[in-house]
Structure 1
Amino acid sequence: MERDDIIEYSLHTHHSEEEGKKIRAKIWKVTAILTLITTVEIIVGIYAPRYLVTPTVWLLIKFGYIGLTILKAAYIVLVFMHLGDERKNLRWVILAPYGLFILYLIFIVLTEGTYVNGVWNTLM
C-alpha cells in the first residue's frame, strides 16, 4: 500500500543543482571547522592533564576551553540560524547581549567559587 500523505520535499526545492552544491559545500565546511575545534579541545584534554601542568598553564587551558566553546556557539548561530547573512549591526545586537551574559556568568562563577573555597578552607 502506497502512502499519499508523505511530502516529497525535493519537489519543492527552489534552487538549482549549482546552488545545492554550494549549500552542501557550506555544510561540509561548517562540519569540518566544528570538528577541528572539537578535536583540538579533546587533544588538549588528553595530553594536558591537570597534574602535569603549572597552575598558570591550567588557567590558560580553562579559559581556552571557554573561548573555543563560545567560538563554536557563535559560529553555529551565525551559520545555522542564518545570522551570518544579516547586516553587521543586527548581528551585534543579537550576539552582544549573549557575550555580556557569558562574561557576567564567568565573573559570578569565579567570585562565588573563590568565596566557597575560602569558607571551605576555614571549616577544614
Structure 2
Amino acid sequence: MANNTHHNDGHAGTENVPAQTGVIWRTFIILSVITAFEFTLAFFMKAGGLRTSIFVGMTLVKAFYIVGEFMHLKHEVKSLIWAITIPVLFIVWLLVALLTEGGSIFQLR
C-alpha cells in the first residue's frame, strides 16, 4: 500500500483563496470620492486657471493611486518606484512648460 502524505478532505485541487474585497471597496470609495469632488468643482467653480490646476492635480493623484493599487507598484522596491515616478514628473513639467511658453506665440510684441 502506498503512503499517502496528502490530506484529502474531499476538495482535491479546489482550494479557494478568499478575495480581498475590503481592498477593492476601499479603492472604489477613494476613487469615487475624488471623482465626485471633481464633478462638484466642474459644476460650481467658474472656469479658470485655478480650476484647471485642481483638475490636473486630482487627476495625477488618481493616476498614481491607480498605478499603485492595480499595477501593484506600491509593493515594489523604492528604487523602482522612483525610476518610474521621476521621469513622469519631468514629462508633466515639460508639458506645462510647453503649454505655458507655447501661448506666447499669440502675444503681439
- CA RMSD in angstroms comes to 2.1
Structure richer in helix, relative to its length:
1
Q: Percent identity of the aligned residues?
A: 29
Letter in 2 for 1:101: I
Alignment partner for residue 24 of structure 2, among 6, 22, 27?
27
> Which residue, 18, 37, 41 being the options, matches 1:40?
37
TM-score, normalised via structure 1 length: 0.69
Classify the secondary structure of the residue corresponding to 1:16. Answer: coil
Change (3 A) 1:15 1:94: farther
Q: TM-score, normalised by structure 2?
A: 0.77
Highest Rg: 1 or 2?
Answer: 2
Alignment match, 1:108: 98
Task: State the 1:79 CA deviation.
Answer: 0.8
Match of 1:80 among 67, 70, 80: 70
Cα offsets for 1:29-65 (capped at 9, x unmatched): 1111111111111101100123xxxxxxx32222111
The runs of 5 or more residues in structure 2 that have no matched partner are 1-12
Q: Supply the distance in 2 between the matched residues of 1:98 and 1:49 (Cα, whole angstroms).
A: 29
Structure 1 position 15, deviation (Å): 6.0
Structure 1 unpaired stretches of 5+: 1-11, 51-57
